Structure 1
Amino acid sequence: MTARVVVEADGGSRGNPGPAGYGAVVLDPQTGAVLAERADVLGIATNNVAEYSGLIAGLRAAGELGARHVDVRMDSKLVVEQMSGRWQIKHEGLKPLAREAAALARGFERVTYKWIPRAENGRADALANSAMDGTPVSRNGPAAGGTAADASAAVAGQGSGAASKAGTTSASAGATSAAARAGSGAAPATQGASAPGGWVPRVEAPTRLILVRHGETPRTAEKRYSGRGDVPLTDRGQAQAKAAAGRVGLIADDVAAIVCSPLTRTRQTAEAIAARYARKPILEPDLIECDFGTWEGLTFGEVSAQWPGELTAWLGDTSLAPPGGESFDQVAERVRGAVAGLRAKYSGKTIVVVSHVSPIKVALREALDGGPGFLHQLHLDPAGVSLVDSWRDGGVSVRLVNDTSHLTHL
């Protein structure tokens, strides 16, 4: 396997939003040989969602092939500019997909993004149309034993079946318009992009996150700031962890992974859940609690007495950190990356995530599209269970928040 590959990706929607699909092809940059092809239907989605889905599928295929350098080529100016960091991602429905793509990209040594005219992206376009026509593709090597040249010839025969790019009369016209917006310094308008309005029936399994806060610790019981301090569960906390394992078992007969923060209290809670599934917890450092700095181990009253100004400012601004600590914005950044990575790795499966108050609040805030105040307005109990489903088109459904029904007997 060559260390460097080219990924050509595309997606389209017949209606925008409408029946959508994506396609991606991985090529050897020296010979042009087809190394992998991916295509699938998305259900009802927009062009932009389909294009991002094609990129994700291409990056995932390149990773499975062991590539280290990836050159992405797409005829979507929007995706190329956003993934290159030159355009902001303003549409909420695209942000989870962009984060998923970014998490996959971090798995390579180098990823570049280049816009190409639509006429040069025919292979991926044809795969996207094959998906929308009911022919998903997931294979390595040339199509049906053919060569990349054969695939190009087949694409040249595509006619009216080309994926619909609503609102764009031609690739060059779309690129010119996008370039004009970029040159003006204004963030580009999303080309008709919007998540499917209202509730759309789902035909594919969601990626399900079962979010579990750790059980009680001595600091939890005393209502002290408990961040990076590595305190174990109390006896009551151990009982709560076992009860949480039972609640998780009612939600999922099996899980793909049990992931937790590396601190003792989360590992102990995760181990209680893992015992039910005969699995070993996977440690994820980015799921660790916020670093409360010099406030660690203190009560709210003690902090208020010693740092009244700093505490008031911190409560009103998520970009501020406690003295020597970490801001909630910093927590959110690492948690977003961790969650995106889990969704990419375990797409369509169920994952148990055992963490702390701040990371779980961040994950729920992202899912519910909440503002900064959400972090201070949501309460999470020890061993409380929350549930978030998500789909590749950006759809999210929060099904449970801080369920403690399993703790009533303790």
Structure 2
Amino acid sequence: MVASQVHLVRHGEVFNPERVLYGRLPGFGLSDLGVQMARAAADDLVERQRHVARVISSPLQRTQESAEPIAAAFDLPIDVDDRLIEPTNRFEGRRMRGAGGALRDVRSWPVMVNPIQPSWGEPFRSISSRMLSAITDAYRSVDDGDVVLVSHQLPIWMVHRTLARTSLPHDPRKRRCGLSSITTLAWQGDRFVEIGYANPAAELQAGASDVGAV
């Protein structure tokens, strides 16, 4: 037996008053608003009345904290899979826009030469490969029920584009992966397919800061 569905949950808003690209840097946990978002995602999963058999998170603080209300709702521990982590990025710890931002700094331009790869961080294909490997292992790891994986915007978006069979390079401003959103997958035939997308924290996002994603 294997899992019924796999739910990819993005973390909630991060406390980031300096508005830097935080990437894999330690010490970036959820804001108070982010905690509310994480609870909204947990409530959404509970309302579906599905049996959740396992909760797995990226090792970063913001995903661990986002997984907590989900794990508590289903009385489960939080397992960790390093493959769900945010990609590496050369601009970690820097602001991207505005005065002093990396986009205006000529010293940054050499690492921006190839947005197709991208040249400033982990290749898109690598992100997609490790995410799909983690998803497949999680899917096979339970005898019954659903699995929840708590990850980050770009890794989840790479899964979406891979399953949709569209090119991995993209405009990051057009990602459909809101804070605490839930992208649901199922196995159909010989492959995973995306069967749903929910944005349970949508009402909380109007005043949210979402500038730290890669």
TM bin, normalised by shorter chain, reads 0.7 to 0.9
Task: State the SS of the aligned residue for 1:256.
Answer: strand
Q: 1:207 to 1:303 in 2, by over 3 A?
A: farther
State the identity %: 23
Work out the number of aligned pairs and report it.
198
Unpaired segments ≥5 residues, structure 1: 1-56, 58-204
Distance in structure 1 (CA, Å) of the matches to 2:86 and 2:8: 14
CA deviation vs aligned residue, 1:314-352 (integer Å, no higher than 9, x gap)? 42x12x442xx4222322222122112112223763111
Distance in structure 1 (CA, Å) of the matches to 2:73 and 2:196: 21
Q: 1:210 to 1:235 in 2, by over 3 A?
A: same
Structure-1 residue corresponding to 2:102: 303
Structure-2 residue corresponding to 1:350: 146
RCO higher in structure (CA 8 A, sep ≥6): 2
Q: Pick one of 142, 167, 181 that aligns with 1:371.
A: 167
Structure-2 residue corresponding to 1:272: 69
What's the Cα RMSD here? Answer: 2.5
Task: State the SS of the aligned residue for 1:300.
Answer: coil
Structure-2 residue corresponding to 1:229: 25
Structure-2 residue corresponding to 1:75: none
TM-score w.r.t. length of structure 1? 0.44
Q: 1:409 to 1:237 in 2, by over 3 A?
A: closer
Q: 1:340 to 1:397 in 2, by over 3 A?
A: closer
Aligned partners of 1:291 and 1:326 also within 8 Å: yes
Structure-2 residue corresponding to 1:284: 81
Distance in structure 1 (CA, Å) of the matches to 2:170 and 2:140: 26
Q: 1:358 to 1:236 in 2, by over 3 A?
A: same
Aligned partners of 1:259 and 1:353 also within 8 Å: yes
CA deviation vs aligned residue, 1:157-191 (integer Å, no higher than 9, x gap)? xxxxxxxxxxxxxxxxxxxxxxxxxxxxxxxxxxx
**Which residue identity does 2:40 align to in structure 1?**
A
Task: State the SS of the aligned residue for 1:207.
Answer: coil
Which structure has more helix as a fraction of its residues? 1
Q: Trace 1:33-52 onto structure 2 (pairs within 5 A).
A: none
Distance in structure 2 (CA, Å) of the matches to 1:381 and 1:222: 21
Distance in structure 1 (CA, Å) of the matches to 2:65 and 2:19: 20
**Which residue identity does 1:364 align to in structure 2?**
H
